[in-house]
Amino acid sequence: MAVAEFLRSMITVAKHALKKPVTYQYPEEQKPYAPRYHGRHQLNRYEDGLEKCIGCELCAWACPADAIFVQGANNTVEMRYSPGERYASDYQINYLRCIFCGLCIEACPTRALTMTGEDFIADVTRENLIYTKERLLAPLPASAKTEPPFTDAEIASRGIDYYGGYAQTPALTSADRAGLAPEGDDGGAR
Ligand code: SF4
Ligand code: SF4
Tens-place pLDDT, residues 85-95: 999 999 999 99
* Predicted local distance difference test score (pLDDT) of residue 149: 95
* Predicted local distance difference test score (pLDDT) of residue 144: 92
- Residue 189 near residue 74 (C-beta atoms within 8 A): yes
The ranges of the chain with pLDDT < 70 are 1, 165-190
Residue 13 belongs to a domain: no
Could you tell which of 50, 54, 68, 132 is best to mutate to test the pocket of ligand 2, judged by most ligand atoms within 8 Å of the CB?
A: 54
Residue 189 belongs to a domain: no
* Predicted local distance difference test score (pLDDT) of residue 134: 96
* Predicted local distance difference test score (pLDDT) of residue 167: 59
Distance set, CA 82 to CA 7, 51, 145, 149, 186 (Å): 69, 5, 16, 8, 22
Residue-number span of the structural domain to which 59 is assigned? 30-158
Residue 127 belongs to a domain: yes
Residue 24 belongs to a domain: no
Candidates 100, 108, 130, 111; CA nearest to 33 is: 100
Candidates 99, 120, 100; CA nearest to 26 is: 120
Residue 102 belongs to a domain: yes
Domain count, the chain: 1
* Predicted local distance difference test score (pLDDT) of residue 175: 66
Tell whether pTM > 0.85: no
Give the CATH number of the domain where residue 126 resides: 3.30.70.3270
* Ligand 2 contact via 98 beta carbon (within 6 Å): no
* Predicted local distance difference test score (pLDDT) of residue 62: 98
Pocket of ligand 1 (CB under 6 A): 62-63, 65, 67-68, 93, 98-104
The residues pairing with 74 across neighbouring beta strands, listed in sequence order, are: 86
Residue 169 belongs to a domain: no
